[in-house]
């Protein structure tokens, strides 16, 4: 299947607004003490957001724009005393396509701005997509 | 935050090899009867994969290259009798950045080819990333 070499372009649908500015200070995962943050969407995608409500649990996909794309092994959790591992068995932001997955709750909605819980992404991180958390088969 | 208009390029790290060829025949989600499929990785990313083992549960991120990127509302599950919804409250492949999330188990490993369970992605779908499913905090 690898006879061609396509590239695809992603386009941010919004940006994270967060007090987190410094990668060294940011929690490793959202459930490790990350603060609430705003998702500030582009007005042009408003129709795509219209059913989302306070209390919903969503998966935010981000582009981790401060990550390194040229590494395939990392020390887990940035700890140099731990043996280096392949990036695909870690959640390191450093990886060939640095896409972040963040499971959060919606705390407030103001037009195309959503306040969400526990987001470890840095201020200014581009948002690529929002997906609902899937419920049981019968509710789809 | 939207004063600039950056675009980012994703580069496939591999491709899906699956008996699924026709979007109309493919299951909507992996747990709705999807078959096993091979993940055929580029040899250049082998170092990133080296700790992954048969039995591991992983999240596969794909680029849904046959999706429409110009729609913001869809009929859920392609059913025209259901009211159209914003794409960000559905798992439709049609969305501005058509990134697929697939939670699967590794069934076999042959070099840089991994057989995985229950993958609803079509044959030839580009793979963007692999992430481990996160366990409890104490095990990270």
Per CB-CB distance under 8 Å, the chain A contacts of B29 are: 134, 140
Q: Which pLDDT tens digit goes with each residue over B43-61?
A: 999 999 999 999 999 999 9
Whether residue B131 and residue A59 make contact (CB cut-off 8 A), yes or no, is no
Q: Which pLDDT tens digit goes with each residue over B85-135?
A: 999 999 999 999 999 999 999 999 999 999 999 999 999 999 999 999 976
**B48 to chain A, closest Cα gap in Å:** 4
Which of 98-117 (A) contact B at CB < 8 A?
99, 101
Is residue A129 less than 8 Å (CB to CB) from chain B? yes
Q: What is the ipTM of this complex?
A: 0.90
In sequence order, the β-bridge partners of residue B52 are none
Closest A-chain CA to B53 = A89
Whether pLDDT at B2 is above 50: no
What is the value of pTM for the model shown?
Answer: 0.91
Give the Å distances, CA to CA, from A44 to A18, A125, B9, B70: 22, 18, 21, 11
DSSP for B87-132?
GGGS--S-SSS-EEEEEEEEEEEETTEEEESS--PPTTPEEEEEEE
Q: In this structure, what token pair is assigned to residue A41? A: 């969407």
Note the pLDDT of residue B1: 47
């Amino acid at each position: 299947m690898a006879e061609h070499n396509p590239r695809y372009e992603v386009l941010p649908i919004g940006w994270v607004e967060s007090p987190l500015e410094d990668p060294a200070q940011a929690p490793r995962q959202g459930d490790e003490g990350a603060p609430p943050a705003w998702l500030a969407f582009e007005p042009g995608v408003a129709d795509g957001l219209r059913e989302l409500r306070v209390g919903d649990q969503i998966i935010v996909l981000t582009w981790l724009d401060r990550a390194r794309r040229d590494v395939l092994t990392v020390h887990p959790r940035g700890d140099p005393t731990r043996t280096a591992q392949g990036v695909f068995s870690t959640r390191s932001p450093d990886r060939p396509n640095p896409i972040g997955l963040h499971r959060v709750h919606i705390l407030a909605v103001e037009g195309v701005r959503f306040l969400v819980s526990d987001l470890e992404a840095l201020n200014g991180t581009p948002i690529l997509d929002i997906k609902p958390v899937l419920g049981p088969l019968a509710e789809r």
